[in-house]
Structure 1
């Protein structure tokens, strides 16, 4: 009985993985709106019955892809402080920043999504997920310095995601290690003065 359940679970995992890959392949070739369920199942080498046993429609399949990505994104974001009670940003080692590793490991998926009409959906899901965990996981120490906590959280997330999206759109032209190092440098850079380059003005 247990063996049958395991085999059934494995079949479900395989079929869902094949359907996800088929949808992503099709999205790399044409707009999501023009993709049919028939195309998805034919490419995945399954039938429509298998599809509808897992999803109500292609939007549900896409949501499954996005939710899985977001879950992994959240884990990678939490990695630097997951096992700590006190998170010292000024002592954060670059190799503890895992978000760029996650993005790079799923580069093909993120590239397809970023070049599709569902870009706004993935941006919003990523933003809302990170906003929620920042508010839930970290205490309100910013308010002690007169900062509006919501503003600080929104600013921080947009800064990180802006860097991530720029990296993806640039075709991953820098290594994850370089991006980790640069993010840590940016976080810890607090200049008191900045020189104005007037020679470049016109």
Structure 2
């Protein structure tokens, strides 16, 4: 049993080294110019070790993105206030806290010239969550749900990109409050 735990820790450390090496390389050059050899050399592992865990660099990037977006959704579970209501500003603060805690990852993916893949995935995740929230609303809305979803999704992702690209000039609480006001203004 102890041997299995030790092996699992080695696998985790190896994967962390591979991911760290990949993200460092991704921040230095375009995705197209990163090779498995580059990643292996930077991570101090054999090429075969990378292929043991990932099909190729596309699979590596895909798994990294999936893991962070999955964590973002689950980490940002809203909390109810004393009256049992979920406050939008509290929910958004959790989101901005997560972005801040993982600034290195998000800044690397959002500031790289070839970041469209990540941006597209982020748009998909955010729009899916917004669709669910808008569908759960009881009141009559005067704006088409899909148009509202696309507008708010693009606005949210744009604000997050701006915030990260400008090295988070405002704290998460301030961003949550401001974005909450904007979303409420748009019938969210």
TM range (shorter): 0.7 to 0.9
Deviations 1:9-50 (A, max 9, x none): 222211111100001111122221111111111111111121
The equivalent of 1:130 in structure 2 is 126
C-alpha change, 1:134 and 1:92, in structure 2 (3 Å) is: closer
CA distance in 1, matches of 2:28, 2:53: 24
Q: Where does the alignment leave 5 or more consecutive residues of structure 1 unmatched?
A: 191-202
CA distance in 2, matches of 1:145, 1:137: 13
Matched, 1:110 2:109: no
Deviations 1:114-164 (A, max 9, x none): 222331111110111122233345535377334322112222212211211
Over 6 Å off, 4+ runs: none
User: TM (normalized to structure 1)?
Assistant: 0.79
User: TM (normalized to structure 2)?
Assistant: 0.85
Higher-Rg structure is: 1
CA distance in 2, matches of 1:81, 1:144: 25
1:118 is paired with a residue whose SS is coil
2:164 alignment partner, one of 149, 163, 168: 168
2:117 alignment partner, one of 116, 121, 130: 121
Q: Which stretch has the larger CA shift, 7-16 or 143-152? A: 143-152
The equivalent of 1:9 in structure 2 is 8
Aligned pair count reads: 185
Q: CA RMSD in A?
A: 2.6
Q: Where does the alignment leave 5 or more consecutive residues of structure 2 unmatched?
A: none
